[in-house]
Amino acid sequence: MRDALLQAVLFAQETTTTAEEDEGSLIDVVPGLMVWTVVTFLVVLWVLRRFAFRRIQAMIDQRRDRIREALDEADKARAEARELRELVAREREEAKADRERILDESRRQAQRQLDQAREQADADLKERLEKNREELEAENARLREQIRRDVVELTLLASEKVTGKVLDDDDQRRLIDETIAEVDVKRIASEN
Amino acid sequence: MSVLFAAAESDFDPQHEFILEEWIPLHLGPLDLSVNKAVAYIWLGGLLTILLGIWLMRFGLSLRPDRRQTTGEAIYEAVQEQIAESSIPSKALHIWFPYVASLFLFIWVLNIVGFVPLPISNDKFDAFGVELPTLGIYAATANLSVTLALALLTFGATHVEGIRYNGVVRYFKSWIPEGAPKPLLALIVPLEVISQFMRLISLSVRLFANMLAGHMLILVMLGLIFIFSAWWLVPFSVGFGLVIYLFEVGIVVTIQAFVFALLSGIYIGAAIEPEH
């Protein structure tokens, strides 16, 4: 261990001395080497610029363009989808409004038809009632006329039998008029 | 590894890995362009950067990316957003984004390659009568000349763009803070000029020192075993060396490349639009 440490000290001294002696070799500037460095670097620069950088830059630009186009297309598609969505929503709203309108219209129409039917039924009923009433009145009138005629005939017959003579036209008319005036036809009709 | 072999021969020196021996002599007048280990690593790094960039960012690209393309795009966009767009004005982005992106990738690959044991070494070993280079780790970015050259590029680009976008007078006037008292100009102007050059030094030395320190620590840790011939040191040396290695590969390599590229972008961007 001691020997090793001693050797290390000696080596350090030797290396320092050698480094000092050869210091010039490490930091010497060699023009020829500088020329070779510059020439080689310029060749590298020329080749890379011409054969590598341009190609990869073109490829990157091309991809950027493609990505930009794809993004534009995506934006366009998104806008179209939004428009479509808005259109569908608008159409749905319109359809809903149409449905409501049609339903209202149908309801109104049904109500109207119902009202019409009701009115028609009422009118029919009224008409029928009126007709019945008219028929009844006509029948009444006919019956009254019949009764009157019967009464007149009976009266004439009774008068002829009581008086024992045949009545002329003036007597008959006068007798009829008097009888009619005395007879309450309505009461008779109602009693019948 | 070559250090370890050297250490075994009791002449261990961590700096040994950073000595640049001339492999292929090449002289252009006074300029020494000889190929050495650093140049080989620079070339290898450049080649790998190109291959990596093209593999990740060119072939088989499609609109639906696979894992490879996703990685390429992630790196590209990270550099674009985190480095370029945050530092360079948009009007100059098309010119300077490729620069900072290449800078980041180049430095990152050089740093990573620096931690891969490769048979690019000054030392050889004999294997059944055949001399083979020993495996070694070496980072080109642990050499000041390399980082200084890259920093100088940024330095030059900064001032060229500053003058190009603003004109000479307006650009240099932008160095002086608005409303500075005239008597203080004699002090402020030299300080501003010095600060411009300090950027150059800070940019290059930061990367160089970080990479050098990481390599030195790892080499020293492993070398201690052979220097002391004490096997009880193995768990400590290897363990600590491994921790440093993982720290360097996992964090330092990327951070240093990122910082160098980001600061380059900031300097250039600030020169183009001094008001920001």
- Residue extents of the structural domains in chain B: 2-272
Cα(A188)–Cα(A31) distance, integer angstroms: 163
Secondary element (H or E) of residue B142: none
Residue of A nearest to B25 (CA): A32
Choose, out of B58, B100, B141, the residue to mutate when testing the contact with A (most A CBs < 10 Å): B58
pLDDT at A98: 93
Give contacts of A47 with chain B, Cβ < 8 Å.
50, 53-54
Q: CA of B162, closest CA in chain A: separation in Å?
A: 21
Mutant choice from A42, A48, A54, A61 vs B, greatest count of B C-beta within 10 A: A48
Contact B55, B68 (CB under 8 A): yes
Mean per-residue pLDDT, A71-94: 95
**Is some CB atom of chain B closer than 8 A to the CB atom of A49?**
yes
- Inter-chain contact A52–B43, Cβ cutoff 8 Å? no
How confident is the model at residue B260, as a pLDDT?
97
Give A73→chain B minimum CA distance, Å: 18
Q: In this predicted model, what pLDDT tens digit does every residue of A7-65 receive, in sequence order?
A: 544 444 454 444 444 444 677 889 999 999 999 999 999 999 999 999 999 999 999 99
Please list the pLDDT of chain B residue by residue as tens digits (276 residues): 444 444 454 466 666 777 777 888 888 888 889 899 999 999 999 999 999 999 999 988 888 889 999 999 999 999 999 999 999 999 999 999 999 999 999 999 999 999 999 988 777 788 788 888 888 888 999 999 999 999 999 999 999 999 999 999 999 988 888 888 888 888 988 999 999 999 999 999 999 999 999 999 998 888 888 888 878 888 989 999 999 999 999 999 999 999 999 999 999 999 999 876
CA-nearest of B46, B206, B36 to B113 is: B46
Q: Nearest by CB to A25, which of B19, B39, B45?
A: B19
A60–B contact, CB cutoff 8 A: yes
Neighboring chain B residues of A44 at a CB cutoff of 8 Å: 46, 49-50, 53, 102, 105-106
A192 falls in which pLDDT band (50, 70, 90)? low
Alpha helices in chain B (DSSP H): 2-8, 37-57, 67-78, 85-87, 90-113, 144-166, 168-173, 182-228, 234-247, 253-272
- Quick one: pLDDT at residue A149? 82
Query: How many Å apart are CA A135 and CA A128, to the nearest integer?
Result: 10
Largest CA distance in chain B: 77
Q: Provide the CA A130 distance to its chain's centre, in angstroms.
A: 50
CB nearest to A26's CB, from B18, B54, B146: B18
Contact A38 B101 (CB under 8 A): no
Mean pLDDT across chain A: 81
Q: What is the ipTM of this complex?
A: 0.90
Mutation pick from B34, B36, B37, B39 vs chain A, by most beta carbons of A within 10 Å, is B39
The answer to whether residue A123 scores a pLDDT higher than 90 is no
**Nearest CA to CA, how far is A88 from chain B (Å)?**
38
- Identify the band that residue A140 occupies on the pLDDT scale cut at 50, 70 and 90: confident
Q: State how far residue B179 is from chain A, nearest Cα, in angstroms.
A: 40
Helices B182-228, B234-247: axis angle to 10 degrees equals: 140
Task: Report yes or no: A11 at the B interface, CB cutoff 8 Å.
Answer: yes
- Biggest CA–CA distance in chain A, Å, is 199
A65 Cα to chain B: minimum distance (Å): 11
CB contact under 8 A, A56 and B146: no
DSSP A192: -
- Give chain A's length: 192
Tell whether A43 is within 8 A of chain B (Cβ).
yes
Q: Which residue of B lies nearest to A36 if distances are taken between CA atoms? A: B39
Distance from CA of B272 to the nearest CA of A (A): 21
Residue B102 to residue B147: CA distance in whole angstroms: 14
Q: Return the higher-pLDDT residue of B236 and A168.
A: B236
pLDDT at A40: 97
CB B120 within 8 A of CB B133: yes
Per-domain residue ranges of chain A: 33-191
* pLDDT higher at B91 or A172: B91
Classify strands B27-28 and B31-32 as parallel, antiparallel or unpaired: antiparallel
